[in-house]
Chain A
Amino acid sequence: MPDWLLTGILILAKLGFVFFLLLTGAAYLVLLERKLLGRMQLRYGPNRVGPFGLLQPMADAVKLITKEDFIPSQADRVLFFIAPGIAAVTALLTFAVVPFGPPITLFGRQVPLVICDLNIGVLYFLGLSSLAVYGVTLGGWASNSKYALLGSIRALAQLISYELSMGLAIVPVVLMARSFSLTDIVNAQATVPFAVLNPVAFLIFLISILAESKRTPFDLPEAENEIVAGFHTEYSGMRFGLFFLGEYINVIILSSMMTVFFLGGWHGPLLPGIVWFFIKVMLVAFFFIWTRGTLPRFRYDQLMHFGWKVLVPAALANVMITGAILLLLE
């Protein structure tokens, strides 16, 4: 077998594996969320389709695909078409830089368990999460509905505000790891995860990814009891499904980022690395769901106040202090 063919096959296999895992993971995260929220409210959650409701994602997909695809008469059709795609694709693309396991040896060669080990992986992640705002904003704007527009304005303002503190919370991680590559960041946490070394950055990042994924207590862009469904009010069928999928893939991505930046990635005793990575991602995802079951929604001015007057100054101060300490330790 020629060398280039083997390389191609390995890349395709990795791509297929990640793609399959991400999509089924997002589908089952929906089920997990519905189940856990149900248990928190002393209900069972979905348990009719298949054993323990395990086929519920399939039923949901069939329902979404066979539903009427409705386009409002005054909508901007082109933007209305591409907005859900942007939301889903940007979420999917981000996973390309996530290292989900230690390098393994296959057919006598080292295969790193990451699709593309970019040396500027952190910037790639930040850039794509900024691009994801376009999906939400354009979708809300193109729907020609005041609720959708209000939702997208909120999403825009909120995501930009919280991206700032999220980016600033990663800066100490980059300082400590001395690299923008996610693989190097994970390797720098081989002994102690950064969540222990820099708990302030960890907390700021945790709060920021809750806002970044538009989930409670920061789910103002789609606040049901204020603006119907926010930016996806006018979407139905699989277009809504793409927004939904994008949101849950985003939860997985942000959980993986949390794992990579602060929880030590695949490092852990006894179990193989990929299992540790999976466990950590699931723990962070559980925290997302747990928060949704616990905290009520912020008011909009509280959200902005908290973001600009608390998180950003705290993150800035944290960058300065971390930098100073690192300089002293040299």
Chain B
Amino acid sequence: MNLYQDIKAIVQAYWVTLRNMLRRPVTIQYPEQKRVPFERYRARIVLTRDPDGGERCVACYLCSAACPVDCISMQAAEDENGRRYAAWFRINFTRCIFCGMCTEACPTRAIQMTADYEICRRDSLSLVYEKEDLLIDGPGKEPDYNFYRHAGIGVVSPRGGNEDEKPPADVKSLLP
């Protein structure tokens, strides 16, 4: 019976290859066909703006500190109102591993990842992106978020007058 099993196995193997030969290939032929990346695909990094059009980045260096390959560098500066911003901001995409740690670290949702994966260049120096290359016009994936509406705002009287803020609970009324 061993011989029978062997012959059966060989014939089945031939059948499998023949069947696969007649199936449609799974190849995506890249330059002509492009796959649509998933929504949370992590590729080229951008700097976004808040809904009012101002820069979100406050040059806190958290992305730079979170980056495992140290590809983000910047110089913090302050304008006349005391608002921090990055004097220059640089991402070296030859080193970036697209891990997304910077976007997770960012407190203002300024640095975000996009689905644009076609960033191959012959000249590697052209992959060092400066602030003007990184900054985009829109708010990216957080269309309504404005950091300064939530932080750095003084206490109003009566309490709970700010946007997104609830009035203080009446502690006594909550008693059973």
A residues engaging B (CB < 8 A)? 36, 38-44, 47, 290-291, 293-295
Contact = CB atoms under 8 A, between A and B. Distances in A.
**Chain B interface extent, by class:** 10 to 19
A42 B14 contact: no
A44 B25 contact: yes
Nearest to A295: B13
B26 interface: yes
A41 B20 CA distance: 7
A42 B22 CA distance: 9
B10 interface: yes
A38 B10 CA distance: 20
Interface in B4-30: 10, 13-14, 16-18, 20-27, 29
Contacts of A294: 13-14, 16-17
B25 A290 contact: no
Main secondary structure of the interface of A (DSSP, over half): helix
Interface of B: 10, 13-14, 16-18, 20-27, 29
Contacts of A47: 29
Contacts of A39: 20-22, 25
B20 A290 contact: no
B14 A290 contact: yes
B27 A36 contact: no
Contacts of B22: 39
Contacts of A36: 21
A291 B14 CA distance: 7
A299 to B, nearest CB: 15
A36 B25 CA distance: 11
Contact of B21 (A40, A44, A291, A295): A40
